[in-house]
Amino acid sequence: TRYVYRFGGGVDDGGKGDRNLLGGKGANLDGMAAIGLPVPPGFTITTEMCTRYYVDGGKYPESLNAEVASGIAHIEGITGKTFGNPADPLLVSVRSGARASMPGMMDTVLNLGLNDETVVGLAATSGDERFAWDSYRRFIQMYSDVVLELDHGAFEEALEIAKEDNGYSLDTEMTADDWKALVAEYKALVEKLWNKPFPQDVHDQLWGAISAVFGSWQSERAKVYRRLNNIPGEWGTAVNVQAMVFGNMGETSATGVAFTRDPATGENAYYGEYLINAQGEDVVAGIRTPQYLTKAARERAGAKPLSMEEAMPETYAELAGVFQILETHYRDMQDIEFTVQQGKLWMLQTRSGKRTAKAALKIAVDMAHEGLITEEEAVARVDPAALDQLLHPTLDPKAPRDVLTKGLPASPGAASGAIVFDADTAERRNELGDSVILVRVETSPEDIHGMHAAKGILTARGGMTSHAAVVARGMGRPCVSGAGGLSIDNAAKVLRVGGREFREGDIITIDGATGEVMAGEVPTVQPELAGDFGTLMIWADKVRRLKVRANAETPLDCQTARDFGAEGVGLCRTEHMFFDAARITAVREMILADSEKGRRLALDKLLPEQRDDFAQIFMVMAGLPVTIRLLDPPLHEFLPHGEAEFEEVAKAASVSVDMLKRRASELHEFNPMLGHRGCRLGVTYPEIYEMQARAIFEAALIVKQRSGDAPIPEVMIPLVATKKELELMKAIVDRVAAEVFAEQGASVDYLVGTMIELPRAALKAGEIAEVGEFFSFGTNDLTQTTIGISRDDAGRFLTQYVDKGIFARDPFVSIDVEGVGELIELAAERGRATRPGIKLGICGEHGGDPASIAFCEKTGLDYVSASPYRVPIARLAAAQAAL
Ligand code: PEP
Ligand code: MG
């Protein structure tokens, strides 16, 4: 096997540049050499060598010696210098370079090849003694840090003391003799800390650096980084050895970093920084303040020091030409490192540049318009999850933040407002025009009005699919959940965090994209859903197969969803309508009634309200399917909890407090999520589902008559486990439909289907499809019941499960493809076998998660349904899944 690939001076052994073999940096150095760009000659030791190095227990094969020697000979041949030659020494840089860029790894050793003898040669050939000794001390410092892993603080301290002793404030004031003296000190430091003298043999230096690069692949830092970024340990890193070029050889030399487009805004303008008479790490380390690359950027910033465009116009023009070539060649925005050595430009690195969501969008659309990439490639290049950043107001990145604690980033967007501890106060203050943040230990359905009134929601408990998180995402409200650092005293209305106290009315800010909770108000910036966004969405829609619907239950949410491109409602959770202040009394009357007759009386009051809800939603969604789920949550959720509330509610319902409490305790359940809920309510109180069915069909006929555009109601039965349950429920719906149609002398098409959210339902899908006309996978409950982890309590331990690698990701966020996914595949297959073409969708939170959407595409579902603000994300993710 060949392990060494040369590049530069007309040679490019790597050919097209295989990233897997040569690593990202090596492949692109080779690639730049291949298209004739000025790359200092060098060679890459492959990632395969790294893997073999570990397999062989930290040893190299015999053959590598000769290969490395031939690599060095290649560099010597082109530069005319010789490695270790005291008269005219070759100096090299040694850098790591994995397939994906990995900040956790050893990065760079510069000036390798310097020793007590060659430093003299460097001084002679460069005619600059100060430069030579400065280079030598930099080399010892870097080598000691990254290869010998000695305490770099000691070296920095020695430099500081040397400057102080001489009365200097800047490195540039150090003379050749000062550097010489410092080199002696550095060497003494190495002996003291390493118990061996600094290596003088240049080959020892080289092999030391190579082994350090390979060794860094298994460093703790690198392992952590790999885990966080899903980079497999088998990949290994390459090593790049390259002739040194110097940006610190006087005023005609410089070094810099640049982006071919603005990585923050995406603007098609060069963006970068450079420093005259400096070496690369000076720019990165921020020792001197770098100068602007372009005149326009300098002027915009009102900065004085000349830009490179002004200070070195010819080299700048050459560099700009290289930018063009690189963008055309790699067909993406590039992040570049370069050096100018005495007027001559050298390219040290190029790679696809990291960018903000906004920039990613603009660059992708611009490049497609420029003809550099296709529309499909543009679609593939924007991370759907990053769109989130664009759809909600975000915190001004320039504003200072007083961070109090961190919770889960449950619903993106940022919000500031006055702290309130209960939903009623939230509503009241909102009506007075205040911005409020609702702070709760956890939220429950009865907080809905307060959540709606609040600008943001903060909870001390609960995971990513806790009530607060789900509802907040649905409403597009920013939410931080499970902020365990908070201690909330509801009685005293005090919030304690990190030794500080906040009271009702104190202003805080939450960032639902990061989970940060901050004191005071942090300014936000509004999203711009400008042209690029719309353009990319149109391109995405051209390639996607999956339909995208929305989980929405108010006309406003439906409108938002439709504006974002939803093609129907995939889940309308009717219970949320029951919490409305005007109806909750009737809902409670129904629950408190001890006879069917009493329940029917209360339901009669609810009927016109529900009918009105549905009519409004049908109007907004005219011409599109709307899936309405009949009542799902256990009834106790509608009853009061606190003492004060009991009295209030008892009065409103004209019953005694005792009776109310008795009923509440009767309804109490140990496992409400596995209790009296879903279609079990319909089985025991069929009149509830009857009322809802009637409201749906009456509303549908109203809208048909009013708009001429008949809605397509899809009545959905929740939490079905058996065919018989669905049969009973469908019979109710069909009977009511027939009644309403007969009464009105008109009809609409409708479907009756079920959620598949219990493992038994998935297993028996073949049988259930004999009755159900569509399936919608309720992956929240299906995840909860398949894994047996409570969706409301999981937040407390799930992070550890992810940290320890038991789950790759929170299964309530991204579908557990192997477990829950298998049930879905099986149910889809069995359902289709019974009823070919049965409509299949997903309406759990996963419907808005790109990885889960890819799974849905693979499984051949017909649609995904996501909260309104995730609709664009789902559209893009569905398109990418189809590519
Ligand atoms: C589900 O269980 O996935 C679902 C969509 O229903 P809910 O979240 O309302 O239980
Ligand atoms: Mg459910």
Angle at the Cα of 802 (from 798 to 806), degrees rounded to 5? 100
Q: Which atom of ligand 1 is nearest to the CA of 846?
A: 3
Q: Which atom of ligand 1 is nearest to the CA of 844?
A: 3
Classify domain 546-634+669-882 at the CATH superfamily level: Phosphoenolpyruvate-binding domains (3.20.20.60)
pTM here is 0.80
Give the active site residue among 558, 572, 679, 843.
843
Q: For ligand 1, is residue 778 a contact (CB within 6 Å)? A: yes
Q: For ligand 1, is residue 335 a contact (CB within 6 Å)? A: no
Q: For ligand 1, is residue 551 a contact (CB within 6 Å)? A: no
Over the stretch 79-100, which tens digit does the pLDDT of each residue have? 999 999 999 999 999 999 998 8
Question: pLDDT above 70 covers what percent of the chain?
Answer: 97
Q: How far is CA 55 from the centre of its chain?
A: 35
Q: Which ligand is nearest to the CA of 780?
A: 1
The residue-averaged pLDDT of 163-168 equals 93
Q: Which of 6, 138, 81, 95 is nearest to 337 (CA)?
A: 95
Q: Which of 797, 808, 697, 709 is nearest to 747 (CA)?
A: 697
Do 4-243 and 546-634+669-882 have matching folds?
Answer: no
Establish whether 679 is a catalytic residue.
no
Q: For ligand 1, is residue 843 a contact (CB within 6 Å)? A: yes
Q: Count CB-CB contacts under 10 A for residue 365.
A: 24
Ligand 2 geometric centre to CA of 399 (Å): 40
pLDDT for 129: 95
Over the stretch 585-598, which tens digit does the pLDDT of each residue have? 899 999 988 899 99
Q: Which residue ranges are tagged as binding site for Mg(2+)?
A: 757, 781
- Fold of the CATH domain 4-243: Dna Ligase; domain 1 (3.30.1490)
Residue 228 pLDDT grade (very low, low, confident, very high; cuts 50, 70, 90): low
Give the active site residue among 392, 467, 576, 846.
467
Token pair in block for residue 624: 């599109």
Q: Which residue ranges are tagged as binding site?
A: 573, 629, 757, 778-781
Backbone angles phi, psi at 842, to 5 degrees: -135, 135
Rounded to whole angstroms, how far apart are CA atoms 754 and 178? 82
Rounded-to-10 torsion of CA 124, 127, 132, 134: 160
Q: Which of 187, 194, 180 is nearest to 147 (CA)?
A: 194
ipTM value: 0.99
**Element of type H or E holding 59:** none
Question: pLDDT above 90 covers what percent of the chain?
Answer: 70
β-pair type (547-551, 524-525): unpaired
Ligand 2 geometric centre to CA of 436 (Å): 30
Over the stretch 425-443, which tens digit does the pLDDT of each residue have? 998 998 888 999 999 998 8
Over the stretch 453-470, which tens digit does the pLDDT of each residue have? 899 999 998 766 667 877
- Residues listed for the chain: 883
Instruction: Output the DSSP codes for 588-611.
Output: HHHHH-SSHHHHHHHHHHHHHHHH
Q: For ligand 1, is residue 841 a contact (CB within 6 Å)? A: no
Question: Which residue owns the Cα nearest ligand 1 atom 9?
Answer: 573
Residue 288 pLDDT grade (very low, low, confident, very high; cuts 50, 70, 90): low
- Domain 390-525 grouped into CATH 3.40.190.10: no
Rounded to whole angstroms, how far apart are CA atoms 718 and 679? 6
Question: Is the pLDDT assigned to residue 105 strictly greater than 90?
Answer: no
Q: For ligand 1, is residue 445 a contact (CB within 6 Å)? A: no
The DSSP symbol for 435 reads -
Angle at the Cα of 873 (from 879 to 781), degrees rounded to 5? 105
Q: Confirm if 617 and 626 have CB atoms less than 8 A apart.
A: yes
Q: Which residue ranges are tagged as binding site for substrate?
A: 573, 629, 757, 778-781
Establish whether 452 is a catalytic residue.
no
Q: Which of 497, 503, 493, 494 is nearest to 484 (CA)?
A: 497
The residue-averaged pLDDT of 34-53 equals 95
In the chain, where the domains are located: 4-243, 254-356, 390-525, 546-634+669-882
**Element of type H or E holding 237:** strand 237-243
Ligand 2 geometric centre to CA of 643 (Å): 30
The DSSP symbol for 481 reads E
Ligand 1 geometric centre to CA of 779 (Å): 7
Ligand 2 geometric centre to CA of 759 (Å): 12
The residue-averaged pLDDT of 779-796 equals 92
Question: Is the pLDDT assigned to residue 287 strictly greater than 60?
Answer: no
Q: For ligand 1, is residue 757 a contact (CB within 6 Å)? A: yes
Rounded to whole angstroms, how far apart are CA atoms 815 and 810? 8
Ligand 1 geometric centre to CA of 844 (Å): 5
Q: In the chain, what is the greatest distance between 2 CA atoms, to the nearest angstrom? A: 106
Q: Count CB-CB contacts under 10 A for residue 59.
A: 10
Residue 502 pLDDT grade (very low, low, confident, very high; cuts 50, 70, 90): very high
Question: Which residue owns the Cα nearest ligand 1 atom 10?
Answer: 781
Question: Which residue owns the Cα nearest ligand 1 atom 8?
Answer: 780
CATH class for the region spanning 254-356: alpha beta
Rounded to whole angstroms, how far apart are CA atoms 668 and 647? 18
The DSSP symbol for 144 reads I
Q: In b/e form, how buried is each residue of 74-98, taking b as 16+ CB within 10 angstroms? A: bbbebbebbbbeeeebbbbbbbbbb
Over the stretch 403-415, which tens digit does the pLDDT of each residue have? 999 988 888 788 9
Q: Which ligand is nearest to the CA of 824?
A: 1
Over the stretch 684-695, which tens digit does the pLDDT of each residue have? 999 999 999 999
Q: Which ligand is nearest to the CA of 779?
A: 1
